[in-house]
Amino acid sequence: MTEAGADFSHAVEAEVAAVRRFVGLLEREQTILSHGDVDQLLELLPEKNGLTAQLTALAIQRSQALAKEGLTDDPAGVAAWFAAHPSETSARAAWSLLLPIARQAHELNCVNGDLIQLRMRHNAQALEALLGSNDALGLYGPNGQSTTASSRRISDNA
């Protein structure tokens, strides 16, 4: 096997391991988000950033290994690599694992993003309620007209 071939194989196998760790981290993040523990979420951030950087570096390494063999970093390039290296069964197995695990990571990340947006909306509504803004809550006065906040201070009625 060429050096580029070994580089590609190594990068894919390393990506599988890293994406698996990333999926585990996203699952922990989802649990934390559902429990609303902001402190734990902040503690998770450096690890998430580190794994994201590692995944980016591995994807670049994979792309460069394909480029060394004159191949593109797309499904056609990967298929051509496998055609040129039919004995690389471990790389093929790793690649077949990488795609569904990467999809799982993407889906988890989207759900976590939705959970963050939901929490942010909830926090914004709570803040508006504490500040006494009836407009933000869509409330109406006794005359049927929407009411306006008389001041932007914390309501002592809350």
The reported pLDDT for the residue numbered 124 is: 86
Cβ within 8 Å of residue 31, ≥6 positions away: none
Q: Domains of the chain by range and CATH?
A: 3-112 (1.20.58)
Burial (0-12, 13-18, 19+ Cβ within 10 Å), 128:
middle
The reported pLDDT for the residue numbered 48 is: 94
Sign of CA dihedral 71, 95, 76, 79: positive
The reported pLDDT for the residue numbered 154 is: 54
Give the mean pLDDT of the chain: 86
The reported pLDDT for the residue numbered 148 is: 56
Cβ within 8 Å of residue 48, ≥6 positions away: 22, 25, 29
Read off the pLDDT of residues 10-45 as tens digits, 9 standing for 90 and up.
999 999 999 999 999 999 999 999 888 888 888 999
pTM of the model: 0.74
The reported pLDDT for the residue numbered 50 is: 96
The reported pLDDT for the residue numbered 151 is: 46
Reported as a pLDDT band with limits 50, 70 and 90, residue 138 is low
Coil, strand or helix at 76: helix
CA 101 to the chain's CA centroid: 13
Q: Give the residue among 109, 84, 25, 95 at the shortest CA–CA distance from 62.
A: 95
| Structure-model confidence comparison of residues 1 and 27, the more confident one | 27
Read off the pLDDT of residues 41-86 as tens digits, 9 standing for 90 and up.
889 999 999 999 999 999 999 999 999 999 999 999 999 999 999 9
Place of tokens 């690599």: 81
